[in-house]
Amino acid sequence: MGGGFVLFIDLRQNHSDDLCGLQTNGAGNVSVELSPSQALNLWHRVVLAQVEEDAPDLTARQMAILLHIYLVPPPHTVRGLASVLGVTKPVITRALDSMGTLGLVDRERDERDRRNVIIKRTVAGALYLEKFGDLIIEHARRA
């Protein structure tokens, strides 16, 4: 690939109507090879579109946490997220406080071990990430 980046887009759910000449494999994925400049341009357009839509302004750490919660099967704990991200539990707690205020995640005490806090998915968080994924697909098609 010579320093490029390959972007895989899942087109199985509601996104197979307009492939813009891109080739799919049997699993419904399409791959696009991007140079670093093209990848950054794509990211720039997606972030700008998100700002224009007045979507919640998440930090990179908050986005990493949110993506982990929704892409990796539960359960998720503050301790576990801190370990995955290589940060302290208070760092995760502050990020979750902000995301909780936005309704993107919820927390509850683990009934089996009251020392643990379980991080829960929310409908608002799922919708936020679905819209973000749609933006990536939309702008990747233009790449």
Residue located via tokens 């093209």? 38
Residues 6+ apart with CB under 8 A from 82: 88, 89, 91, 92
User: Please, which residues have CB within 8 angstroms of residue 75's CB and are 6 or more apart in sequence?
Assistant: 110, 118, 119
Confidence at residue 6, expressed as pLDDT on a 0 to 100 scale: 46
- Residues 135 and 45: their CA atoms lie apart, in Å, by 9
In 3D, which of 97, 101, 100, 106 has the Cα closest to residue 76?
106
Dist. CA 51–CA 25, nearest whole Å: 33
Structure tokens of 42?
Answer: 């794509």
Q: Is the pLDDT of residue 5 over 60?
A: no
Per-residue model confidence as pLDDT tens digits over 77-135: 999 999 999 999 999 999 999 999 999 999 998 888 888 889 999 999 999 999 999 99
